[in-house]
Structure 1
Amino acid sequence: MPGARTSTHPIFTARKREPVSARRVEYLAELAAEVRRLNEAAVHTELPEDELEELTAQVRALTDRLNTVRRDLPPISGTGESGMLQQLAGPVTGVLNPIAPPCQVEFLEDGSVRTGFTLNTVYEGPPGLVHGGVSAMIMDQLLGLAANGRGVSGLTATLEMRYRRPTPLGEPLTAEARIDRVEGRRTHAVGRILNAEGKVTIEAAAVFVMPML
């Protein structure tokens, strides 16, 4: 069955990674949330240059301190039913990754997935709008999660994006994805992003292929 095939594939399994505790995740998630605030503040700050020099030294010192004891690989919380890594530091859903929004994904009874999120100016492309590459990253993640939720995941072979209208920054957005069909090792998924008015800004389609063992 597809789920069993996924769980035994070396690319997707948690080799040599011990899950971190829920308590540690809580502390690391709080740290990541503050670094997200720092990211945006660094973009918008109008502090004078002498203060920026001082603050840069402080941030450098904090970074050096965090690096004094570090793990070799990003942390995980274990594996799901399919055997795939439950990543905590992914760039879209990772609560421990300061560059992730992060998107909280909901798995629905019909097999589809959905998430609501708001992107700030760190993700800006055209003025006031989400960078197209950021939208592609989010859709690739969501489409892959839809496939994984059905136990038929794989690696992204193709990702097609149709930008229907501008995707705004600073406003609630919704992204959703579902499996279209499965053909052997190839899983076809479709999805979209909607703005606060419920209008489609982006349509996406992807093909995921399970590598041969």
Structure 2
Amino acid sequence: MTLEATSASTHAALLALAAQTRELMDSVLASGADDAELAAVTEELRALTARLDATRQPPAQVGDPRWFLGNAVVGAANPFAPPMTIEYPPGGGVRAEHVFRPLHEGPPGFVHGGVSALVLDHLLGEAVGTSGRGGLTASLTMTYRAPVPFGVPVVATAEYTRSEGRKSWAEGRITLPDGTVAVEAAGLFITPDWFPKEY
């Protein structure tokens, strides 16, 4: 069953389940329950997992409407995803304001550097996509200037810079509430032959 074949109510129910699962994941990290309670909750989750597994679908393929629902950054149905909502300002580039969760922690109180890279990799790709030249990451260079806290709003931005043949470049950053640039990224993207032309 593809997204096109699901009703609006089923789609909404899937996103509500993903949102509730995000809350569950955060609660797992913060729980102070005793052994017996943790074991009981684990058994309940095992039963719920079996119910969902009974209707498991194959992974989404390129072009499948479900493709971005499972994306690790913007996938509304992916419980690990922040998820981020990307804006496309009139002046060009892409922008996303977000509050990271404890689930994304690396050093105590701060976001894992790999999560920052994950987010900027995606935004750089989106920025390249605004040029009509979608592609896959060939290289990603990260510069970490300050820790990124979770629990406070940060802004991630990116812009396409240039192209040569099938190669495209983009640059981006994560900015803290006080305007400090905490993380910078530069990426090279390659447009494969099979990439959707309507990207």
Q: Which residue of 2 aligns with 1:25?
A: 11
Identity %: 40
CA distance in 1, matches of 2:130, 2:2: 22
Instruction: Choose which of 136, 144, 162 in structure 2 pairs with 1:163.
Output: 144
What code does the residue aligned with 2:130 have?
A: G
CA distance in 1, matches of 2:7, 2:116: 31
What code does the residue aligned with 1:64 have?
A: A
Q: Which residue of 2 aligns with 1:9?
A: none
CA distance in 1, matches of 2:16, 2:51: 17
Structure 2 matches for 1:20-59, cutoff 5 A?
A: 20-59=6-45
1:104 alignment partner, SS class: coil
CA shift for structure 1 position 206: 0.3
What code does the residue aligned with 2:84 have?
A: C
Instruction: Choose which of 98, 117, 136 in structure 1 pairs with 2:98.
Output: 117
2:158 alignment partner, SS class: strand
Per-residue CA deviation, residues 21-40 of structure 1 (Å, 9 max, x unaligned), is 44322111100000000001
**2:3/2:11 contact within 8 Å kept:** no
1:173 alignment partner, SS class: strand
* Cα pair distance change 1:18/1:41, threshold 3 Å: closer
CA distance in 2, matches of 1:35, 1:76: 26
Q: Which residue of 2 aligns with 1:209?
A: 190
What code does the residue aligned with 2:70 have?
A: A
Q: Which residue of 2 aligns with 1:5?
A: none
CA distance in 2, matches of 1:22, 1:182: 39
2:29 alignment partner, SS class: helix
**1:75/1:87 contact within 8 Å kept:** no
Structure 2 matches for 1:70-85, cutoff 5 A?
A: 70-74=56-60
Output the TM-score relative to the length of structure 1. Answer: 0.84
Q: Which residue of 1 aligns with 2:128?
A: 147
* Cα pair distance change 1:72/1:208, threshold 3 Å: same
Unaligned ranges ≥5, structure 2:
195-199
CA distance in 1, matches of 2:63, 2:12: 12
CA distance in 1, matches of 2:144, 2:180: 12
CA distance in 1, matches of 2:73, 2:79: 10
CA shift for structure 1 position 110: 2.5
What code does the residue aligned with 2:38 have?
A: L
**2:61/2:67 contact within 8 Å kept:** no
Output the TM-score relative to the length of structure 2. Answer: 0.90
CA distance in 2, matches of 1:68, 1:78: 21
CA shift for structure 1 position 121: 1.2
Unaligned ranges ≥5, structure 1:
1-15, 80-84
Instruction: Choose which of 138, 152, 160 in structure 2 pairs with 1:179.
Output: 160
2:55 alignment partner, SS class: coil
Report the RMSD for the aligned CA atoms in angstroms: 2.1
CA shift for structure 1 position 168: 0.8
* Cα pair distance change 1:17/1:209, threshold 3 Å: farther
CA distance in 2, matches of 1:110, 1:61: 50
